[in-house]
Amino acid sequence: MASGYLRQGNPAATAEAIRAAGQGLVSLLITHTRYVWSDITAVKAAHVNLILHGLLTERGELALARDAASGQNA
């Protein structure tokens, strides 16, 4: 948050929210063993994108796009 890449807010609450979101997906993967996931790799990627893009500022979005274009986050 201090770097300007993430939206301002309570860092502890933000960290807990991220953990809860991730733990929710992990819990579903472990406990719903009979559920047929469409493409688990795509679901995981979408989950991370939903979390991050909700937190990123415009500066963070631009940095992410720049890194993707240069192959740094491939």
**What ranges do the domains of the chain cover?**
11-70
Q: Please tell me the predicted confidence (pLDDT) of residue 73.
A: 56
Q: What is the largest CA-CA distance in the chain?
A: 43
Mean local confidence (pLDDT), 54-73: 81
Please indicate, yes or no, whether the overall pTM of this predicted structure exceeds 0.75. Answer: no
Which ranges of 32-71 would DSSP assign to H, the alpha helix? 40-55, 58-70
Task: Give me the pLDDT at residue 6, please.
Answer: 78
pLDDT digits (tens, 9 = 90+) for 17-53: 989 999 999 999 999 989 999 999 999 998 988 887 7
Mean pLDDT of 3-10: 83
Is the pLDDT at 59 greater than 90? The verdict is no
Cα 56 from Cα 41, distance rounded (Å): 22
